[in-house]
Chains A and B, each alone.
Chain A
Amino acid sequence: MFRNNYDNDSVTFSPQGRIFQVEYAAEAVKQGSVVVGIASKTHAVLVAIKRNAEELSSYQKKLFQIDEHVGIAIAGLTSDARVLSNFMKQQCLGHRLTYSRNMPVRSLVDMIGSKAQINTQHYGKRPYGVGLLVAGVDDSGPHLFEFQPSGMTEEMVAFAIGARSQMARTYLERNLDKFKTSSREELIEHGLRALKESLVQDRELTVENTSIGVVGYVKGDKEGGEEKKKKVEPFQVFDGQDVQRYLELVADDKKDDKDGSGPQPATVADEGEQMEVDAY
């Protein structure tokens, strides 16, 4: 049987110029359930499918608040995500303390990018087994970033990571030009539709398995008649009954859309269900 000699650590290149450990880490991201993020001119939303490891267990958490202006969606190893999440929270608190402003989302993402890259270049270290979508607003507006275990980070208009996320991405690509001017509600709606695309057959979005996270700008309070500064709507996660209202928005087109997108290939139906990830 073929044995790979170049995947024992993350510091050795294969003759083809690949670092297998980093690629494997990227695979761990694909094992996690899907998360979708979209940004408009006023808001950034994250939506996620939560799994329960078994019927008797509760559903995993997919969305986390980092600071009042930033939230993340995770796909991959939850425990690795927690390390990053705590780090990000510390950075945001520190930045707010020294500058009294929302930490620019790009600086924040750059920091976890460099942190993750170190793990890919030092012997004995392991890359993070988690991918993130980072949604936030700062003084320059709403942002959405993708983060990968390799340390790669990139600003996105809309993106999806996790199991079967290609289907969600296809939906996002098809509707790309609508996002910029979308309202808060429309953005959530698009997110949920993208999420539905990547569902396994016979699965549906329910109040149990859907999470929605929103952050954005709202019109500032009129103070003395001249206050027109935008105010941050803090990152907030909706779970359980709170998502019902949004699920109803996309419930109607269930039949047509499923038909429209055509049958899913059966081979990928259970991808991502073999490994214990995301669970705890």
Chain B
Amino acid sequence: MDHRPQAWGRPRDDVYGAYDGSYLNNSGPRTVTQSPVVTGTSVIAIKFKDGIVMAADNLASYGSLARFTDVKRLRTFLGTTVIGFGGDVSDMQFLDRHLEELAVDESYEAEPTIDEDDQEAKKASQLNAGNIYRYLQKLMYQRRNSFDPLWNHILVAGFDSASKPLLGSVDLRGTSFTSPSLATGFGAALAQPIMRKYAATEEDAAKLTREQAVGVIKECMKVLFYRDARSLDRYSIAIVTKDGIELKEDEQLEKQSWAFAERIKGYGTQTV
């Protein structure tokens, strides 16, 4: 038995085996995020005639553990753009801080225009959703190029320079695309088919009313809660229009019906 003070409070090698101090090793190659840790699940969004509706639940999971149940995954930018984050929550918080900084810089740069009272022009000179979409794509692609990805799948909603509704997606590899409806994670398999029923093309989306779009999104959130084991019935929903953003961060799924569960057989302890 080792009685020297240095060994006090330490597990005994003869009982517990050699201590694995490998995590103390800071020699060798620099290590970066190799996989996400605390994660958020799907984000879904659909265009309608005056803008875009986006939603994501308020859960942050640690593996299969429902770790944090009040995490807001929809963030706003300059009061004109909504950004929804799926994937790693710490990377989301990093991006959120980064975008906050960008928004502050941008607000300081708000230019006096030749026509001082032209409020339209003043607003137009600020970064819009199109600009943010592009910026995030570049950022994510740069990080993947340095093999240090931000482990997120992001949706961006707002208006582009031509004042048209914009809905775009960027993933951890910097792949970016737009579509009348978008979903990340499980949503791509479960919600996207439902949303595409209502907004298969841009033209179809331009016919949807705000109420219809909100209805579709709520229906999809319900389906996701039924089938996605890493989801929650509390969620955030944002509606972006030219007049601004309406963001509700503590919504409860309504009118759930678990009757379908009765018919599911073959799992767990159930034998019949």
Whether the complex brings A and B within 8 Å at their CB atoms is answered: yes
Instruction: Give chain A nearest CB distance to B128 CB in angstroms.
Output: 8
Instruction: Give chain A nearest CB distance to B102 CB in angstroms.
Output: 10
Let me know if B115 and A41 touch, CB within 8 A.
Answer: yes
Let me know if A41 and B161 touch, CB within 8 A.
Answer: no
Let me know if B138 and A140 touch, CB within 8 A.
Answer: no
Let me know if A143 and B114 touch, CB within 8 A.
Answer: yes
Residues of B within 8 A of A141 (CB): 113-115, 118, 121
What 1/0 mask marks residues of chain A from 135 to 157 whose CB sits below 8 Å from any chain B CB? 00011111100000000000101
- Given A104-B111, A180-B114, A180-B115, verify A139-B124 contact (CB < 8 Å): yes
B242 at the interface (CB under 8 A from A): no
Let me know if B121 and A139 touch, CB within 8 A.
Answer: yes
Instruction: Give chain B nearest CB distance to A183 CB in angstroms.
Output: 15
A142 to B126, CA, bound (A): 15
Contact of A97 among B112, B121, B127, B138 (CB under 8 A): B138
Let me know if B125 and A138 touch, CB within 8 A.
Answer: yes
CB nearest neighbor in A for B118: A141
Let me know if A140 and B161 touch, CB within 8 A.
Answer: no
Looking at the complex, which of B7-15, B67-75, B129-137, B250-258 is the stretch in contact with chain A?
B129-137
Binding site secondary structure of chain B: loop
Residues of B within 8 A of A143 (CB): 111, 114
What 1/0 mask marks residues of chain A from 179 to 190 whose CB sits below 8 Å from any chain B CB? 010000000000
Q: Give the interface centre of A101, A106, A180 by most chain B CB atoms within 10 Å.
A: A101
A41 to B125, CA, bound (A): 15
Residues of A within 8 A of B134 (CB): 98-100
Residues of B within 8 A of A227 (CB): 162
A229 at the interface (CB under 8 A from B): yes
A49 at the interface (CB under 8 A from B): no
Let me know if A39 and B121 touch, CB within 8 A.
Answer: no
Instruction: Give chain B nearest CB distance to A160 CB in angstroms.
Output: 18
- Given A140-B111, A140-B113, A141-B115, verify A98-B162 contact (CB < 8 Å): no
CB nearest neighbor in B for A155: B112
Instruction: Give chain A nearest CB distance to B133 CB in angstroms.
Output: 8
* Chain B 100-156 residues near chain A, CB threshold 8 A: 109, 111-115, 118, 121-122, 124-127, 130-131, 134-135, 138
Residues of A within 8 A of B178 (CB): none
What 1/0 mask marks residues of chain A from 234 to 265 whose CB sits below 8 Å from any chain B CB? 00000000000000000000000000000000
Residues of A within 8 A of B124 (CB): 139-140
* Chain A 9-39 residues near chain B, CB threshold 8 A: 39
CB nearest neighbor in B for A142: B114
B163 at the interface (CB under 8 A from A): yes
CB nearest neighbor in B for A106: B111
CB nearest neighbor in A for B110: A140
Q: Give the interface centre of B124, B126, B130 by most chain A CB atoms within 10 Å.
A: B124
A101 to B126, CA, bound (A): 11
A98 to B162, CA, bound (A): 18
Residues of B within 8 A of A98 (CB): 134-135, 138
A142 to B112, CA, bound (A): 11
A229 to B113, CA, bound (A): 18
What 1/0 mask marks residues of chain A from 79 to 103 whose CB sits below 8 Å from any chain B CB? 0000000000000000001111100
Residues of chain B at the chain A interface (Cβ within 8 Å):
109, 111-115, 118, 121-122, 124-127, 130-131, 134-135, 138, 161-163
Q: Could you jot down 10 A-B contacts, CB within 8 Å?
A: A39-B114, A41-B114, A100-B134, A101-B130, A101-B161, A107-B109, A138-B125, A140-B125, A141-B118, A141-B121
Closest 6 CB pairs of A and B: A140-B125, A100-B134, A139-B124, A99-B131, A139-B125, A140-B113
**Given A98-B135, A139-B125, A229-B161, 17 extra CB contacts under 8 A:** A40-B114, A97-B138, A99-B131, A107-B109, A138-B111, A139-B161, A140-B111, A140-B121, A140-B125, A141-B113, A141-B114, A141-B115, A141-B118, A143-B111, A180-B115, A227-B162, A229-B163
